[in-house]
Structure 1
Amino acid sequence: MGEAIRVAQAGLELGQFPFGAVIVMGGRSVASAHNSVKASVDPTAHAEIVAIRRACSKLYTTSLEETTLYSTCEPCLMCLSACFWAGIRKIVFGASIADASAYGIRQINAPTRLVTTFYGDFFNITQGLMREECLTLFEKWGKNHK
């Protein structure tokens, strides 16, 4: 999660939204990304999506079944679905969708605990890892976007 926070901080310094993601396989980082929606002028360029694209490209596969996704924030519906299609079962996140919303970052209020019921027992989700550190990213973002 520390790497995801560092990547999110780097994106924040570039004027991006305060989100970062890392895909890990066998204890090693395969790919990382920060949100790049603004820079790429692409509303789908969430950190998780960009990290998945990079991991698939690096490993030359569309199956990331042996990986874990670490994200500074709870994945949105789009990102959670991308994890499903990529085969990423294990997801670890810091801050929640409700946390992001509280800082004025527009979110769809669809927490993973509700959405994952549609996926059966596919996902193994850990929430709240380094949450306070992830919230610091939102605080920094909020200071520049009031």
Structure 2
Amino acid sequence: MKLSSKQYVLFALGITSAGVSANSCQALQGQQAIDECYMKIALDYALIHNPSFPFGALIVDHTKNDISCYGANSNKKNRLLHGETAAFWNCTELFPSPTNDDMSDPGLDWSHQTLYTTGEPCPMCASQSIYRGVSRVVWGTSIPDINKSGRQQLMISMHDVVASAKLGANLPNTQVPVLEGGVLKDECDHAFWCAFEVFRDNDYFAAMARDGNEKFIDDRNARFKCKTVPKNNHDEL
């Protein structure tokens, strides 16, 4: 079977979707249903490509209701390749500037794009979302809940990063993305809770008890039954 140019680049980048498709989302009506559908694809993609770090992302052209590119956390290749970063880089490869001037003449109309990501973007990825110019960012679980699942985080919300975006002379930047959190939160929480079990050591449990978070642990253990999740060697993270 002959691959289209877009399929070929996806294949060459190692980001084929392994059967994950946007077809199920395209016929939906209503923003909530559409958001949940794309978040499910982002989560499935993450669990296929890096189940021990299930940060998955999609960039979707919401004017066409079509996925522009995928991304998953790639800490073995480069620990800076968070899911969102990988998606942005993949889109740049798939849609290069026709004039080799990505700042002024990008190959993709980023104002038409929505970023879907299983976890609230860290400050690095939140900043990229602003600089890249997506019009909307949708995430599943929050930075505090990822942290309470056992994984280190920079405890700065995306809302705070967006609020810090200023034009010259400290003028407000009105071209920042609209933010929507908590989409398919339980499903994303489940994935992170199970994947990050390896990080929940004695120091973790002592700190959670000190901060009065025992009920958080009890709730997660009661609701989120974990199957065996492949775990990376800590030295590779």
The equivalent residue for 1:4 is: 42
In angstroms, what is the RMSD of aligned CA positions? 1.5
Give the TM-score, by structure 1 length: 0.89
1:123 corresponds to which residue? Answer: 177
Q: Give the match for residue 113 of structure 2.
A: 67
Residue 81 in structure 1 maps to residue 127 in structure 2: yes
Residue 143 to residue 104, structure 1, CA distance change in 2 (3 Å): closer
Give the equivalent residue in structure 1 for 2:91. 55
User: What letter is aligned with 1:24?
Assistant: V
Specify the alignment match of 1:136 in structure 2: 190
In proportion to residue count, which structure has more strand?
A: 1
Q: Which amino acid aligns with 1:66?
A: H
- 1:46 maps to a residue whose letter is H
Q: Which has the larger radius of gyration?
A: 2
Letter in 1 for 2:149: Y
CA drift at 1:125: 0.5
Deviation of 1:143 after TM superposition, in Å, equals 3.2
State the shift of 1:33 in Å. Answer: 1.5
Deviation of the 1:4 alpha carbon: 0.6
Correspondence for 1:35: 73
| Offset at residue 144 of structure 1 (A) | 4.2
Amino acid at match of 2:182: G
Structure 2: tracts of 5 or more residues without a match: 1-38, 166-172, 201-237
Query: Hey, which bits of structure 1, 4+ residues long, moved more than 6 A?
Result: none
Give unmatched runs, 5+ long, in structure 1. none
Once residues 53 and 102 of structure 1 are traced to their aligned partners in structure 2, the CA distance between those partners, rounded to angstroms, is 29
Percent identical: 27
CA contact (8 A) 2:140 2:184 kept: yes
